[in-house]
Structure formats: structure tokens, C-alpha cells
């Protein structure tokens, strides 16, 4: 949890909202807010080759740097208005935007991204920077979506996976900082939990009535073990819900101030950097989403 809260700044209304949210997150943590703008050679289209940073810039390059300086100056003013007591640092860096942001995540406690910046396609539900960071960052990434409910719960998606453990720690910490209730939510169905083979091979595969819910409630309790003692100020509600995970978590986000998920859960393909649940949350949640990641 150490390190600055970092926000990528590109002058868009979305990035300004991210700056204001980043300022609040820095205030809660007692952390520095780092405002970062990256630019690359004006005649190199993304993805920029590594050699692009060595190309001579000339007047066009200087204009890009000056524009970046204006962006971070405006962003700093908005950050200080939102949270006057925080320390703010600004950086204007020559380099490909996504690479610069991923590198910055190595020393950050949290990255905050807006819904969509100046680049990309207007039809995207989340911009390329947000998706790329959520898949590649070395720290948790907060993507601003929907409208947070200030008095709502912190909703945590729990599935018992290693990624969910990191999300659990982040969610408890965030609930403690905000003085919010934590709604630890585990979604299950008959299709999501495979049957165990019977002890007698001649017997059919079957479950004792009610045993599935009992097992899943036990999984939820075990996933949260030790956290209530570490965060005694956090009120925790256990929610063990039958249904489809993506739909139930998005539904829960409607009345939440924050939804926290792991980068990838128990299902899907092990090589994927983002699971289907985290992708669905990033695109469709009705409140800000944190994808909990750590340095690999």
C-alpha cells in the first residue's frame, strides 16, 4: 500500500475526474498524488517503437511538451482544490503512454484512470489505457465508472482464488479508510462448482440437499479469515448469492461506492491477464471499480 497515488493526465474531462478522485484517494491514505503526462514523437503512430524516444523532436516535440505542461498544471490546480492538504508532484515524460503508465505503477500504491481519454474509439466503454493498466499494472487500478454512492458499501467479489485474496486485503483497507461497510460477495451456482466423485463408484454423482450452499458459505468465511481481527473497525456483511457472477456483481454495484475484484479468478484460462468477471466489471459496473493487482 506504500507509494504515491498516480493519475495519467491527458487534458480530457475524464482524466480531470480521475485527478479529483486520485486526490481524494491520496488524502485518505496520507499519500502523495503523482500527476503524469506522457507524449511521444508527433510523427510516430502507436504502438511506438523503442527507437521513437531517440528521434529528434524539433518544434513539434517542444509544442507537445508545452501542451503536457499545461495539462499537468491544470490538473494540479484541480487536485489542490479537491484536497488542499495533500502533496502533489507532476511529471511530463517523453515516451509511449501505456508503457510509461505501467512503469509508473511499479512504485505506486494505486493507479486511477478515467472512463476514457482523448485517444481511442468513442464506442469503447472503457479506454485503452484503463484496460491495458488493469491487465498489466504492478499495483491496484481504480477505473472510474458510473456514479459512486457515498454512503454505499464497498462490494468485494470473493471466489477463493489467489487473486481474490489480494482484492480482499485491498477492500478491507479501503473500507477502513472510508468508514464504510464491506459487503463480501460470493456468487455460486450448480454449474460453477463441479461435483466431487462419490465414495462408492456404483453410486451416481449427487449432492446432499443444501450442501452446495453450506460449502460455498464455508469458502466465503475461509476467504475472509483473519481480516476482521486485523480491521476491527470494519463491519462485514457476508453475501453468498446463487446466480451468475458477472450479473450479480454488476447488480450489487448499483448501490455501492466501490466494487473490488481480483484480476483473474478460478474460472477461465490461466494465461489470461484479466478474467471475464473483472472485464465485465470494468465495462459495465455502475460505480468505480478496483482491479487488485500486484507486482509479478
Q: Considering only CA atoms, which of 28, 29, 32, 19 is closest in space to residue 78? A: 19
- Those residues whose C-beta lies under 8 Å from the C-beta of residue 10, and which sit 6 or more positions away, are 37, 71, 97, 117, 118, 119
Using pLDDT thresholds of 50, 70 and 90, give the confidence band for residue 196: low
Burial class (CB in 10 A: 0-12, 13-18, 19+), 175: buried
Is 287 a residue whose pLDDT tops 80?
A: yes
Mean pLDDT of the chain: 82
Does residue 131 register a pLDDT over 90?
no
pLDDT in tens, 235-270: 999 999 988 889 999 999 999 999 999 886 444 434
Residue 9's pLDDT is 92
- The residue among 153 and 269 whose pLDDT is bigger is 153
Sole residue written with cell 461435483: 195
Q: Please report the pLDDT score of residue 125 as a whole number.
A: 37
Statement: residue 65 has pLDDT above 90? no
Would you state the pLDDT for residue 194?
A: 53
Does residue 268 contact residue 236 with C-beta atoms inside 8 Å?
Answer: no
Q: What is the pLDDT of residues 154-167, one digit of tens each?
A: 999 998 887 788 99
> Which grid cell sits at 188?
455460486
pLDDT at position 170: 95
Amino acid at each position: 500500500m506504500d507509494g504515491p497515488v498516480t493519475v495519467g493526465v491527458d487534458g480530457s474531462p475524464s482524466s480531470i475526474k480521475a485527478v479529483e478522485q486520485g486526490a481524494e484517494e491520496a488524502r485518505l491514505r496520507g499519500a502523495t498524488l503523482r500527476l503524469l503526462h506522457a507524449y511521444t514523437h508527433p510523427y510516430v503512430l502507436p504502438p511506438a517503437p523503442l527507437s521513437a524516444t531517440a528521434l529528434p523532436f524539433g518544434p513539434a516535440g517542444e509544442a507537445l511538451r508545452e501542451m503536457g505542461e499545461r495539462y499537468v498544471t491544470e490538473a494540479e490546480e484541480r487536485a489542490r482544490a479537491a484536497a488542499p492538504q495533500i502533496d502533489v508532484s507532476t511529471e511530463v515524460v517523453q515516451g509511449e503512454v501505456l508503457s510509461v503508465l505501467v512503469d509508473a505503477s511499479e512504485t505506486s500504491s494505486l493507479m486511477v484512470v478515467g472512463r476514457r481519454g482523448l485517444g481511442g474509439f468513442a464506442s469503447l466503454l472503457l479506454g485503452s489505457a484503463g484496460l491495458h493498466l488493469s491487465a498489466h499494472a504492478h499495483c491496484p487500478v481504480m477505473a472510474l465508472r458510473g456514479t459512486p454512492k457515498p454512503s454505499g458499501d464497498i462490494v468485494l467479489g470473493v471466489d477463493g482464488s489467489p487473486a481474490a485474496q489480494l482484492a480482499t486485503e485491498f477492500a478491507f483497507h479501503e473500507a477502513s479508510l472510508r468508514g464504510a461497510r464491506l459487503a463480501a460477495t460470493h456468487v455460486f451456482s450448480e454449474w460453477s462448482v463441479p461435483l466431487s466423485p462419490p465414495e462408492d463408484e456404483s453410486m451416481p454423482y449427487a449432492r446432499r440437499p443444501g450442501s452446495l450452499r453450506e460449502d460455498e458459505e464455508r469458502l466465503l468465511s475461509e476467504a475472509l479469515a483473519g481480516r476482521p481481527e486485523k480491521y476491527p473497525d470494519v463491519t462485514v456483511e457476508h453475501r453468498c448469492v446463487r446466480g451468475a457472477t458477472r450479473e450479480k456483481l454488476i447488480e450489487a454495484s448499483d448501490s455501492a461506492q466501490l466494487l473490488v475484484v481480483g484480476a483473474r479468478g478460478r474460472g477461465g484460462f490461466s494465461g489470461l491477464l484479466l478474467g471475464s468477471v473483472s472485464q465485465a466489471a470494468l465495462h459495465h459496473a455502475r460505480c468505480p471499480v478496483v482491479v487488485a493487482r500486484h507486482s509479478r
